Structure 1
Amino acid sequence: MSGRQDGNGINRRAAVAAALQRLAPRLPDFEAEAVVDKALASPGLRRAAPENAAWLALVAFARHTFTDYDDLLEDGYDRDSARHFVLDDLNAVLVDWGARPISEELAEPEESDDR
């Protein structure tokens, strides 16, 4: 969506997309576009390095789209508990996409988790 360029003249969208391809090489194109859109739209990720923005957006996208995370929140679970309960499902999705799994210790809130 955004064609903005950073101070180095590098297109932010292309940089985030390239980082995402390295992080999750088997991520389908449709999901990749959604993750890049999420990274570019998140105020908390605007100044993040492309690799960090891509990773945080990827994890948030997978958590909200492919797990029961939002249902658990609606059922009254706090964020940390909901993250704990969906971690295995989240990691299965990440591994399917060729990304590294995350550990329980790393399953803390990230900037892009606001919907």
Structure 2
Amino acid sequence: MATERQRRIARAVTAMIPRAPFIDAEHIREAARSRHMRSLPAETAVWLAAVARARHEYTDYDALMDDGYDRDAARFFVAGDINAVLDRWGARRRVDPNAAEPEEDGIGVEDGGDDEPD
């Protein structure tokens, strides 16, 4: 039996990224349900989890970080690739490479849930 939060997250995934492949949607739902996301509204948790999933699975972000780029620079360079993934998933929202992202508020969704910084 799903909790109300789980149902809100499932509805948010369907509404926000309706064409996301099943495996990605499952990872996003799981990340959005994680302990450190509980204080966030379901829609915010899903957005953060979706952006993190796109960033880590479909861009060169991790390679850029391994090459010594700082987090802001790496995120800037992959913003277009993230937005392309979000487009394929049917998202209406986009990542702005020039804006500070909510993940910088200490919510560690970067690698699926641990609270360690990049």
Q: TM-score range by the shorter chain?
A: 0.7 to 0.9
**Unmatched tracts of structure 2, length 5 or more:** 112-118
Q: 2:110 aligns with which of 87, 108, 114?
A: 114
Establish whether residue 17 from structure 1 lines up as the match of residue 14 from structure 2. Answer: no
Shift in Å, 1:104: 1.9
Q: Is contact 1:87-1:104 (8 Å) kept?
A: yes
Q: C-alpha separation between the residues in 1 aligned to 2:35 and 2:64?
A: 23
Q: Is contact 1:42-1:112 (8 Å) kept?
A: no
**Alignment CA distance shift 1:107-1:65 (3 Å):** farther
Counterpart for residue 32 of structure 1 = 25
**Unmatched tracts of structure 1, length 5 or more:** none
Matches within 5 A, 1:48-63: 48-63=40-55
Q: Deviations over 1:46-96 (max 9, x none)?
A: 111111111111101110111010111111100000001101111000011
Establish whether residue 68 from structure 1 lines up as the match of residue 64 from structure 2. Answer: no
Identity of aligned residues (%): 45
Counterpart for residue 91 of structure 1 = 83
Q: Deviations over 1:13-71 (max 9, x none)?
A: 2211110110111111221111011111251x111111111111110111011101011
Count matched residues: 107
Shift in Å, 1:107: 5.3
RMSD, aligned CA: 1.8
Greater per-residue helix proportion: 1
Q: Secondary structure at the match of 1:113?
A: coil
TM-score (norm 1): 0.83
Aligned residue identity for 1:49: P
